[in-house]
Amino acid sequence: MATVLVTGSNRGIGLALCRRYLRRGDSIVAVCRQSSPELDGLGVRVEAGVDVTSDSAVGALADRLTGTELDVLVLNAGILRSDELETLNFDDVREQFEVNALAPVRIAKALHSLIRSGGKLAAITSRMGSISDNGSGGYYGYRMSKAALNAAAVSLARDLRLRGIAVGILHPGFVRTDMTNGQGNISADDSARLLVDRIEGLSMETTGTFWHASGEVLPW
Ligand code: NDP
């Protein structure tokens, strides 16, 4: 039985990941700002009140988790603001950097010592953070913040290698959640199933690489 911590666990892909790991018999630490009836219904350990952009909230979470050994840490919380060149709002860009790029590093900094040697860290990124795959433009804040997350996750892979911790940089697919207004070609449950398979398959040979949940390696 593994112990898995998931951020952004109250809805969407994070909730589906909790459901998936629970079905496997794993122990979950579900981190969120505010729980949901669906998350409460799982009966797992919920750590609410954690805005991932807050140093004090993440520090308090680390204090509460003292002594907990994690097998898997999933950095999933994220936001998408639709922005275009003509109407670009830099506050929106900054907000996406805060949540999508800085917050995963904040959580990793605070919690990496809890990951057991040989454990895994998964950063839920987006293929929209791929520079070479950008064929349609726009989405400045989202693309920039996810590209920054990808860069940070490669550093995490290098830094955690000594402890045998493998880091996966994972695109979940185009998933029907609130983020996509229910659009997409895969359900959150199916995405979570594929993501868990990718996390399972991570090794020190593949640490620091960028994957589609479907199993395709993505270009930077
Ligand atoms: P949702 O919008 O459904 O869920 C986002 C989650 O992130 C919620 O739990 C939300 O909590 C949490 N969150 C946002 N901001 C914060 C914050 N400041 N502090 C704590 N939690 C926060 O999105 P998805 O489930 O679709 O997305 C999950 C991840 O997958 C994201 O990183 C996203 O970028 C990525 N992704 C999703 C794709 C898709 O097609 N859906 C495609 C590519 C990547 P709250 O309820 O409190 O707002």
The predicted pLDDT at position 125 comes to: 98
pLDDT digits (tens, 9 = 90+) for 55-92: 999 999 999 999 999 999 999 999 999 989 999 999 99
Substitution site in 6, 9, 11 for ligand 1 pocket (most atoms within 8 Å of beta carbon): 11
pLDDT digits (tens, 9 = 90+) for 144-163: 999 999 999 999 999 999 99
The pTM (predicted TM-score) of the whole model is: 0.99
Largest CA distance in the chain: 51
Pick from 16, 11, 3: nearest CA to 187: 16
- Using 50, 70 and 90 to split pLDDT, how confident is the model at 29? very high
Q: Is 139 helix (H, G, I), strand (E, B) or coil?
A: coil
Token pair recorded at residue 25: 């018999």
**Beta partners for 169?**
123, 210
What is the 99 CA–ligand 1 centroid distance (Å)?
9
Degrees, nearest 5: CA angle 88-89-92: 120
- Length of the chain equals 220
Residue nearest to atom 39 of ligand 1 (CA): 175
The predicted pLDDT at position 87 comes to: 92
Percent of residues, the chain, with pLDDT higher than 70: 100
Substitution site in 175, 181, 210 for ligand 1 pocket (most atoms within 8 Å of beta carbon): 175
- Using 50, 70 and 90 to split pLDDT, how confident is the model at 208? very high
Ligand 1 in contact with 141 (CB < 6 A)? no
CB atoms closer than 10 angstroms to residue 183: 10
Ligand 1 in contact with 79 (CB < 6 A)? yes
DSSP states along 114-132: GEEEEEEEEEE--GGG-ST
- Using 50, 70 and 90 to split pLDDT, how confident is the model at 115? very high
